[in-house]
Amino acid sequence: MLPADWIEHRRADGEILGWMLPSGDGFRVFDLLGRERTPEGVGGVEWLAAEVLLEQLGIGYLADQWTLRLADGTERPVRIAEASARGVTVVADEYGAASAVGADPERFRLPFPVTSELAPR
């Protein structure tokens, strides 16, 4: 669930790019998976810098390959099918199966914000 004090940032076409959270004299930045993207060692950045950071980040990373660590410790290659503040859905992507026409890959529903169980490959 999206924290009430997160401020959404949208690009010009209305697509949400992420959120900003007031922090001290600045803002912390969060991507569409709820992961903090504020530069390390910085408590917060100015409003315009936060917007620029989200604009540069974009949404392309959602199409990347990811690894999902399951409760039993096994790891599965996955792709993100849906990302919102209500949760993140990933689909199994062994051998590129997620993009095969007519495929019905196994789906996994993750809470928002995602935890370290989902990591870039």
Nearest CA-CA partner of 21 in 11, 30, 13: 30
pLDDT at 104: 77
Instruction: Name 82's Cβ contacts closer than 8 Å, sequence gap at least 6.
Output: 88, 89
Q: What is residue 102's predicted lDDT score, i.e. its pLDDT?
A: 66
Beta bridge partners of 30: 19, 36
Flag whether pLDDT at 57 surpasses 90. Answer: yes
Distance, in Å, from the CA atom of 105 to the CA atom of 76, rounded to the nearest integer, reads: 12
The dihedral of CA 5, 11, 16, 18: what is its sign? negative
In this predicted structure, the answer to whether residue 2 has a pLDDT above a threshold of 90 is: no
Q: What is the mean pLDDT of residues 29-45?
A: 94
Query: Using CA of residue 88, residue 89, residue 93, residue 98, what is the dihedral sign?
Result: negative
Q: Where are the beta strands (DSSP E) in the chain?
A: 7-10, 16-23, 26-30, 65-69, 75-84, 87-92, 107-110, 118-120
pLDDT of residue 43: 85
Q: Rounded to two decimals, what is the model's pTM?
A: 0.88
